[in-house]
Amino acid sequence: MAKENKTNPKKPKFSSWWIYGLVAVLLIGFQLFNSDDLASTQKTTTSELQQYLRNGDVKKVLIITNTNQAKVFLTDEAIAKEVHKDVNEKSFLPASGNVPQYTLDYGDLQIFQNEITEIKKENNLDTIIEFGKESTAILVFLLSLLPFVLIIGIWIYLMRRMSGGGGGGAGGQIFNIGKSKAKLFDEKTDTRTSFKDVAGLEGAKEEVEEIVDFLRNPDKYTSLGGKIPKGALLVGPPGTGKTLLAKAVAGEAKVPFFSLSGSDFVEMFVGVGASRVRDLFKQAKDKSPAIIFIDEIDAIGRARGKNNFTGSNDERENTLNQLLTEMDGFGTNTNVIVLAATNRADVLDKALMRAGRFDRQIYVDLPDIRERKEIFEVHLRPIKTSEALDLEFLARQTPGFSGADIANVCNEAALIAARKEKKAVSKQDFLDAVDRIVGGLEKKNKIITPGEKETIAYHEAGHATTSWMLEHAAPLVKVTIVPRGQSLGAAWYLPEERLIVRPEQMLDEMCATMGGRAAEKVIFNKISTGALSDLEKVTKQARAMVTIYGLNDEIGNITYYDSAGQDSYGFSKPYSEDTARKIDAEISKIIEEQYQRAIKVLTDNKDKLTTLAERLLEKEVIFKEDLEKIFGVRNFEKDILALENKKNLEKLKDSDSKSEEEEITENN
C-alpha cells in the first residue's frame, strides 16, 4: 500500500536570499561606519569660527566647494580647553582618517575666504586653508553595485526562462531541467472524479476498474502465480472519454497517481526527455504501488526510423528508448502500472505495443444509442430543465456524437436558454443546440436573390424526396433553406447505426446525396456549383467501395488500404497505371449510375417534389411531418430502441409464462 504521510512538523526552509541580504547589510554598515556622519562632530557658525581663529585654536580649515560646507580641525592644545569639551570625546565607532571637530555652512565662498584670510594676516597665524569636493559614501557605494546587480538579475531571469519557469520546484532552475513535470494527484486535496461520472464505456470501464483492483489487492492475483499487468493503452477517436477514464482512475485509486502529457518530455536541450523518463519512474517507484498516466503518448511513441532522413540523433527516439527500458527491462519494478491514451495507435512503435509493456489495449469507441442516453443523464445533472426530457429522443437525435460532443450539446442548450432569458432549459433548446453544432450559426440576414433561393429550395427538396423514397437511405428529420455556417441550405437525417454496411445501402446513400443536383437538372435543366459538398461525399464513398472494401465486380476482392500507415508518404501507388484507369472508370460509373437513378426517382415524383419545394420556400423550415403529409408514411422505418423494447417485452412474457408453468408443476 501507499506510504502513510508523516505528521512531523515541517522544518523552515533556508533561503539563499538571506545570505545575500546579510552581505548587503554588512557592506552598507561598513560604509556608514567609515563615514563622518557618525563621528562626534559639532555644528558651529561663522562668527564662532572667527573667534576660534583669533584664539589660535584652528589647525586647518577644509572648504568643501560643492556642498557649501567647511570642516574645522582644531589643534591638540585647543581640544584640551574647556570651551571645546563637547568635541574632545572620542567617537564610539572607529573612523578612518582625520575627523573634523566642527562643521559649518557658509554662504558666499569669496566672502568667507576673504574673512578667514584677513584674520589669518592680522594675527599672523599658520592655519592651513584647503579646498576640496566630497560625495556621499553610501551613494557612491550603491552606484558602484548597480551594474553587478543588473547583470546578476538578467542572468537569473534568463536561466529561469530557459528552464521552463517555475520557482524552486523541479524544472524551476537550470540544474533541475531533467526533473519530471508529472503532476501527483492527492486524493485528499484534488477534485475527485469517480467512475459514476463516466457513462457508457462499460467494457473499458470494467478493465480499468480491474487495473485499480490489481494495485489495491495484489495478493489476490499473485497468490495463484499470476503477474500484475505492466500497462494498459486506451485507444479511440477524440472525445470518447479516454482522459476522463484516467481521471476516474485517479479519483478511485487509493495509490499515488502521476499524470503528464507526452509533450512534457520534449525540451530544447538534448537528453532532457530521457532524463525526465528516468526521474518519473524513480518517483513512482519510491511511492509504489503507483499509477503513471501519459496522455497523447504518440508525441514520443511514434515508430522509430521514420522521418529521420538526415541520419542525425533524434531526441524523441532517445526518449522512447528510455521509456521502453523503464517499462520492461532489467531492474524493472513490478508495482508501477502505466496507463496511456492516444487516438493514433497506428503510428505507435511496435516495441511499445507488445505484451510486457502494454499488456492490454482498451478500445474506447464512439457511444451507441444506449450509451448516449447514459451520457446525457450524467451531463444533465447540473442543468435546470423545464420538463422531464425524453432522453431516448435526444439520443436518437445525436448519432455519431462522442461524449465530448454531447457535453457540448448540453452546455450549448443551457447557453441558448440563457440567451432567451428562460428560467430553465427546454427540449427545443437542445434541438437548437444540435443544429448549431452540426450546421453552424444561422445567417438570416444573408442576401440571396429569389432565383438562388428557388434553386436552393429545389436542391434541398431533391435530397428529401430521394432519401424518403429509397429504403436504405437515412430518414429525414428537418430541411431548411436558411443559410447556416458555410452552407446555403441544409437537411438533417438520422442515419441507421450499422456495424456492417452492404453495397445496396451505400448505393442508396449515394443516390440520396446526388438528389440535390438531380433535382436541379429535372426542374431547371441546369446544374450549379451548389453540389460541391455532395460530390465530395459521393466520390469518397465510391472510391472506398472500389479501393478499400472490395465491393466492385470489375476490380474484384482487392483492397489497397494499409492499416499500418506505412504508405503515408504516397511516393508510389500500390497498383499499376492500367489498374488506376480502371479504378477511375469504375468510380465515375458508380456515381453516374446513382445520378441517373436519382433523376428517375425525381421524375416519377415531380409533382410531389414541386409541392415540397413550394412549401419550403413558404416556411423556410420543414420537418418530417410535412413530408408525411405529401408522400405518406415511410414504409422503411426501423427504430432500434423500439425493436429492443419489443425483445425485452417478449423476454418478460417468456419468463412470466415459465414461472406460471413452474407454479402449476409445483401444485401438481
Task: Provide the grid cell at 419.
Answer: 440567451
8 Å CB contact between 228 and 221 = yes
Using DSSP's 3-state secondary structure scheme, residue 105 falls into strand
With beta carbons less than 8 A apart as the criterion, state whether 184 and 256 touch: yes
Residues ≥6 apart with Cβ < 8 Å to 35: 137, 138
Q: How far apart are CA 668 and CA 661, in angstroms?
A: 11
Residue 460: active-site member: yes
Counting every residue written for the chain, the total comes to: 668
Contact assessment for residue 379 and residue 334, using Cβ atoms and an 8 Å cutoff: no
Three state DSSP letters for 20-72: HHHHHHHHHHHHHHCCHHHCCCEECCHHHHHHHHHCCCEEEEEEECCCCEEEE
Q: Specify the 3-state DSSP secondary structure of 165.
A: coil
> In this structure, are residues 61 and 129 in contact, taking their beta carbons and an 8 Å threshold?
yes
**Quick one: cell of 84?**
571645546
The answer to whether 507 and 544 have CB atoms below 8 angstroms apart is no
Residues near 504 by Cβ (< 8 Å), separated by ≥ 6? 472
Distance CA 625, CA 623 (A): 5
For residue 479, the cross-strand partners are 491, 622
| DSSP 8-state class, residue 662 | H
From 252, 267, 412, 460, the catalytic residue: 460
What are the grid coordinates assigned to 234, written together?
Answer: 486506451
Give the span between the Cα atoms of 33 and 28, in whole angstroms: 9
Rg of the Cα atoms in the chain: 44
Contact 462, 602 (CB under 8 A): yes
312 Cβ neighbours under 8 A, 6+ residues apart: none
Residues 612/461, Cβ–Cβ less than 8 Å: yes
For helices 403-419 and 427-439, the axis angle rounded to 10 degrees is 120
Residues identified as active-site: 460
